[in-house]
Amino acid sequence: MTEIPKAYDPGQVEPGRYKAWLDAGAFTARPIEGRESYCIVIPPPNVTGVLTIGHVLNITIQDILVRRARIQGKEAMWLPGTDHASIATHARVEAQLRTEGTSRRDLGREKFIDRTWEWSRDHGGKILGQLRRLGASCDWDRTVFTMDDDYNRSVLTAFVKLYQRGYIYRGKRMVNWCPVSLTALSDEEVIMKPQQGLLYKMRYELVDQPGQYLEISTTRPETLMGDTAVAVHPKDERYSRLIGGKIWRPFPKEQLPIIADDAVDREFGTGVLKVTPAHDKLDFEIGRRHDLPIVDILNPDGTLNALAGEDFDGMERFAAREFAVKKLEEMGLLVDQEPYENNVGYSQRADVPIEPRLSDQWWMRYPKVEEAKTVVRDGLVRFWPKRWEKTYQHWLENLQDWCISRQLWWGQRIPVWYKKNCDRTDPANWHVSVDGPDDPENWEQEEDVLDTWASSWLWPFATMGWPEPNENQKRDLDFFYPTSDLVTGPDIIFFWVARMIIAGLEFMGDEKETLTKEEMAERIPFHNVYFTGIIRDEQGRKISKSLGNSPEPLDLIDKFGADGLRFGIMNIAPKGQDIRFSEERITIGRNFCNKLWNACRFRQMSGPLADNSSLQAVVSRLDPQKFDEYDHWIIARLIQTVRDVDQAFSTYEFNQLTQILHGFFWGDFCNWYVEVSKTKLQSDTSRDNCLALQDLVIRQVLQMLYPIIPHITEELWSNLGYNPKGGFIHETPVDTPKTLVKALRDTGIVIDASAVEHIEQLMELVTQARSLKSNYNLASKRDVNFYITADPKNLTFIKSQSETIKRLTGAAAIIPRDDALPEAPAAVVALGTLYLDLASSIDVDAEKIRLSKELAKLEKAIATGESKLEDKKFISQAPEHVVKGARDLLAATRAKKEEIERIIDSLG
């Protein structure tokens, strides 16, 4: 046993405690027969990332869940790792190369990849190290990187299997092209942003009727050189006679057909649409229906090419827009331009408008879509909060094929080889396998790599050795899969959560077209998904680097301690809502740790420690014969708190959790029980029982707090001798409400409900007494007397508690009286009427005003109660206990009112 220092200093405690856990292998999980398993796989942070406040939230929740599972006696495994983040890492390495005056093309594929490996090794350890400072109890020996050799093989195997099963194909289709990253993107990587632009109205001349024009509206005049038709709605009478005719494209000057297509909206603009099949998704579809030529006037980087005409060749796309408008104007073809807001797709990563572009890509049709809907609808996979299920189902119902190829180098290179000098579009010339062809000299491998999400969607099982697990991994998969909880943000429901569910259903078992419910249950990757809120700043803005409003987590840890930060952030994170972050609101965590520390310190100062080695040991030190009302009350509150905490854990209500524990420990235990203890500890007869009770409360509270604030609770658990044979706190299973109640009952302790009620009444009396003193500026005086009138039963109780009442109120004496004390401030409470004895005269008028205010309140309550009870419908239709409650309340309120009226009278 060591003495506890005066103020809690997390810096002195946290690193040592964390190291001790690591040294003892406390986070190592092994499949153990007959033991309940618990597993979380971490959402792998980007390998080049640094810890953000968002991670703090996410990691804290996961650590709470894992540690709670561990202290419940489950075999708990938290699997850590990082993601290679293909496009993001690419962008950062390329940016670095630019500062060196070189580029990835100059470097070549191999050297670029070497360089990127170097980069990720330099940065990769960083974020994992930061997680340790937060106290993350990951099983670090299992750390996985999505570019590890084994993981690569998993990704390639998944590709090959899906290819063989007919879900993967290569095709020339419209893709979202990022002109900065120079790669195709999936639909999910495109963000629609409203854009202030211009809507141009221009006119094209009819070939057959020179001097006659058709007016066309567009927001993108720079693509007109790629137009290969204009289209109208087939039923649009304004234009029906022109269908089948021709029109002049002004430059490069060419005749275009006028066609009819249902997709044209008659209401929009003039109802005439210019059709650019190479650069617009809708136009591409129209072009396909009408067999229109496709003229691609854009280079991959978004500049125009020679097909746009000599004067546009090489021009940047937005410069080309201005230039095209200028040309139209000069030719007298620009009719109008007006401000216009429309939605433009942006590349999520590069933050520039994407170009719809026709190109050869690899696509995936999703397998097991129906099953993916079923498992969530039927609760095999539960979402918290539930409302995200709707978002998930909606996405699955409107699924588009997934573009999985990226024109990048960092990532899993697509395992397809093309026969040299042969037609790449013909699958007969393809070789698809994990290891490649036996005669590599005759083949060329596909240049593209896979979308990062096409590797991370395998995370829950590829991290455990799928598809070729060794003996240990096989046991892991059997034991830990399906995993228990997934904790992530709702922004990646589509990117990651939905796809992991699909991948699990497809791969975690033999190839099957459809699955039974039992098979689904075995294959799902996790049972619960907890969606965190998104952290915002005090003004409700998103946290972002450019706004400079991102809190620095490591500074916060220095300031508040990891435990303080953890408690604080849990306290301010409402379930399913975005979180307003402010540093000030984190102080509650630090303050709470300090309170906990000092309460334990006070316990240590109050008397020698006795046997605390187990729940039974502590409980057996209690002496039911010596229980007073306070003891009953605190035990009742403790049991209720254990129940509430249980409930909060099982419904993932983490802010609730901190509030329950904060309220009980600080509000009930410290402010009332410990204060009362100060009297009890002076008496030899009550001391030991009181200390045992404190030990019990502290013990149970430490257990419940451990998942949230593990370092400090571990330290105190050890300092107060709760650890039999030096074990960690989590090695003693946390008591359930049942085990706690049973242990108490076995010792002969049964909660006396009337004692609990008495204490609540006593607390009211004390509060009112303090209030009276404070109202007369006597709060700090110790020589004040109180008088009380009460019925004999209550008086006996009050007398028995007079010492603690005196201590809690700071009064000199509490003196029974038979009648009212004239001209004295008074308060009516459940136990009687309390009078503040004032040696000097009081401000009678002020006191009258105060009491009148209270009287008004009571009269209002009486009026409400009376009208309710006079209502026959209420009497006949409301449940009996509600009616009785209303009657009792009315009676009590009337009595109180009469008493206050008497006091007012006595004031003269």
Partner RNA sequence: GGACGGCUAGCUCAGUUGGUUAGAGCAUCCGGUUUACACCCGGAAGGUCGGCGGUUCGAGUCCGCCGCCGUCCACCA
> Following DSSP, what letter does each residue of 326-380 receive, concatenated?
HHHHHTT-EEEEEEEEEEEEEETTT-SB-EEEEEEEEEEPPSSHHHHHHHHHTTS
Q: Is 771 one of the binding residues for RNA (CB under 7 A)? A: yes
- Return the DSSP state at 529: E
Q: Is 687 one of the binding residues for RNA (CB under 7 A)? A: no
Q: Which is nearer to RNA, 374 or 598 (CB)?
A: 598
Residue 477 CB, nearest approach to RNA (Å): 32
Residue 350 CB, nearest approach to RNA (Å): 17
Task: Please tell me the number of Cα atoms within 13 Å of 322 on its side-chain side.
Answer: 4
Separation CA 443–CA 429 (nearest Å): 9
User: In the structure, how many helices (H) and strands (E) does the chain have?
Assistant: 30, 29
Q: Is 873 one of the binding residues for RNA (CB under 7 A)? A: yes
Strand partners, 536: 542, 580
Place of tokens 């040294």: 23
Q: Which is nearer to RNA, 549 or 747 (CB)?
A: 549
Q: Can you tell me which of 2, 3, 6, 99 binds RNA, judged by CB under 7 A?
A: 6
907 and 823 in contact (C-beta within 8 Å)? yes
Strand partners, 444: 418
Stretch that binds RNA, among 130-138, 150-158, 569-577, 831-839 (CB under 7 A): 569-577
Residues numbered 173 to 202 that lie near RNA (CB under 7 A) are: 187-188, 191-192
Q: Is 369 one of the binding residues for RNA (CB under 7 A)? A: no
Query: What are the φ/ψ torsions at residue 795 (nearest 5 degrees)?
Result: -60, -40
Q: Is 655 one of the binding residues for RNA (CB under 7 A)? A: yes
Residues numbered 691 to 750 that lie near RNA (CB under 7 A) are: none
Strand partners, 341: 196
Q: Which is nearer to RNA, 421 or 876 (CB)?
A: 876
Q: Can you tell me which of 810, 830, 866, 904 binds RNA, judged by CB under 7 A?
A: 810
Separation CA 359–CA 150 (nearest Å): 31
Q: Can you tell me which of 180, 260, 609, 681 binds RNA, judged by CB under 7 A?
A: 681
- N residues, the chain: 908
Separation CA 471–CA 477 (nearest Å): 10
Stretch that binds RNA, among 204-212, 267-275, 515-523, 721-729 (CB under 7 A): 267-275
According to DSSP, the β-strands at 273-275 and 144-145 are unpaired
Stretch that binds RNA, among 87-95, 160-168, 571-579, 685-693 (CB under 7 A): 571-579
Q: Is 273 one of the binding residues for RNA (CB under 7 A)? A: yes
Q: Which is nearer to RNA, 526 or 597 (CB)?
A: 597
Residue 590 CB, nearest approach to RNA (Å): 4
Q: Which is nearer to RNA, 527 or 770 (CB)?
A: 770
Q: What is the identity of the amino acid at 189? A: E
Residue 10 CB, nearest approach to RNA (Å): 9
Radius of gyration of the chain (CA): 37
Stretch that binds RNA, among 368-376, 515-523, 831-839, 892-900 (CB under 7 A): 892-900
Residue 197 CB, nearest approach to RNA (Å): 9
Q: Is 878 one of the binding residues for RNA (CB under 7 A)? A: yes
Q: Is 865 one of the binding residues for RNA (CB under 7 A)? A: yes
Q: Is 348 one of the binding residues for RNA (CB under 7 A)? A: no
545 and 628 in contact (C-beta within 8 Å)? no
410 and 113 in contact (C-beta within 8 Å)? yes
| Sequence-separated (6 or more) residues with CB below 8 Å from residue 641 | 660, 661, 664, 701, 704
Separation CA 281–CA 287 (nearest Å): 10
Angle between helix axes 710-719 and 684-705 (nearest 10 degrees) is 150
Query: What are the φ/ψ torsions at residue 229 (nearest 5 degrees)?
Result: -170, 165
Stretch that binds RNA, among 451-459, 464-472, 585-593, 632-640 (CB under 7 A): 585-593
**Number of shown-chain residues binding RNA (CB under 7 A):** 102
Residue 219 CB, nearest approach to RNA (Å): 5
Separation CA 708–CA 728 (nearest Å): 15
Q: Is 593 one of the binding residues for RNA (CB under 7 A)? A: yes
Separation CA 255–CA 253 (nearest Å): 7
Q: Is 894 one of the binding residues for RNA (CB under 7 A)? A: no
Q: Which is nearer to RNA, 240 or 343 (CB)?
A: 343
Q: Which is nearer to RNA, 168 or 264 (CB)?
A: 264
Structure tokens at 492: 């990646």
381 and 521 in contact (C-beta within 8 Å)? no
Q: Where are the alpha helices (DSSP H) in 614-752?
A: 615-620, 629-650, 654-662, 675-680, 684-705, 710-719, 737-746
Stretch that binds RNA, among 34-42, 105-113, 597-605, 832-840 (CB under 7 A): 597-605
- What mask of x and - would describe binding to RNA in positions 600 to 639, judged by CB under 7 A? -xx--x----------------------------------
Q: Which is nearer to RNA, 283 or 476 (CB)?
A: 283
Q: Is 591 one of the binding residues for RNA (CB under 7 A)? A: yes
Residue 69 CB, nearest approach to RNA (Å): 24
Stretch that binds RNA, among 71-79, 273-281, 405-413, 547-555 (CB under 7 A): 273-281
Residues numbered 520 to 559 that lie near RNA (CB under 7 A) are: 540, 542
H or E stretch including 595?
helix 583-606
Q: Which is nearer to RNA, 286 or 315 (CB)?
A: 286
Q: Can you tell me which of 26, 243, 422, 588 binds RNA, judged by CB under 7 A?
A: 588
| Sequence-separated (6 or more) residues with CB below 8 Å from residue 733 | 71, 72, 73
Q: Which is nearer to RNA, 152 or 893 (CB)?
A: 893
Structure tokens at 902: 């008497």
Residues numbered 70 to 109 that lie near RNA (CB under 7 A) are: none
Q: Which is nearer to RNA, 187 or 311 (CB)?
A: 187
Residues numbered 208 to 227 that lie near RNA (CB under 7 A) are: 217-220
**Exposed, middle or buried, 822 (CB in 10 Å: 0-12/13-18/19+)?**
exposed
Going by C-alpha positions, the residue among 43, 36, 54, 27 that lies closest to residue 492 is: 43
Residue 810 CB, nearest approach to RNA (Å): 6
Stretch that binds RNA, among 245-253, 455-463, 616-624, 662-670 (CB under 7 A): 662-670
Stretch that binds RNA, among 421-429, 433-441, 549-557, 774-782 (CB under 7 A): 774-782
Q: Can you tell me which of 160, 207, 855, 889 binds RNA, judged by CB under 7 A?
A: 889
Structure tokens at 332: 């007298």
117 and 180 in contact (C-beta within 8 Å)? no
Q: Can you tell me which of 64, 107, 264, 543 binds RNA, judged by CB under 7 A?
A: 264
Q: Is 268 one of the binding residues for RNA (CB under 7 A)? A: yes
Stretch that binds RNA, among 289-297, 440-448, 486-494, 507-515 (CB under 7 A): 486-494
Residue 261 CB, nearest approach to RNA (Å): 9
